Structures are given as C-alpha cells and as structure tokens.
Amino acid sequence: MSRCVLTTWARDKDGYGARMTHRNGKNVSQRAHRVAWEEAYGPIPEGMCVLHRCDNPPCVNVDHLFLGTHQDNVRDMDAKGRRSRGARHAAATRQGRWG
C-alpha cells in the first residue's frame, strides 16, 4: 500500500481533517477524507461513509479510502477493536452523516 497523505486541515476530536464551509447559506462542517474522495471519484452516495483502509483518520490518500455503509464502519471498528461504547455515539455518527 502507498504511504498515507495527511491532511493539512485542522483536526477534529476524532483526528479527521475538518473545516467549516458555507453551503446553501448554511455553515456545514466538512471532513478532509470525504472531500478528497469526492474530488477523486465524484459525489458520495447518500448514506454512505468514506472509510480508511489504513485506519489513520487524518489520511486523505484516496488509495486508502473506500465507501461503506454505517454498518460496515461499525463492523470495521469492531474488527479493529476501537468501537466507542454505547449507542449514543452510533446515533450521533449516523445523524452527522460523517465518518
């Protein structure tokens, strides 16, 4: 696998590159790995997550990114042993559509 390319954006609490931007007159937060994926492949289908093969949240190397569902994301985290405890986090993630 090629090397990770780390975002130059500020990191959010989860370590993802994140910034605020305006869309339709609203402030929305963007995550760097999602923007990188969209620049490479086009819009992310509704409800899909952009996941890291390299398990490195600030990485924006599109070779390391793949689309999955929220369920895939949870399964992936389970497999890697870093799932947050409790349903509250899962609900927040789903609501935010990012991850």
> What angle is formed at CA 60 by the lines to CA 82 and CA 26, rounded to 5 degrees?
90
Neighbouring C-alpha atoms within 13 Å toward the C-beta of 76: 18
Selected range binding Zn ion among 14-22, 25-33, 56-64, 71-79, rule: CB under 5 A: 56-64
Member of 44, 56, 72, 94 binding Zn ion (CB under 5 A): 56
Quote the DSSP letter at residue 63. G
- Residue 93 binds Zn ion (CB under 5 A): no
- Residue 77 binds Zn ion (CB under 5 A): no
Kindly list the residues in this chain that would bind Zn ion in the complex (CB under 5 A): 4, 54, 56, 59, 61, 64
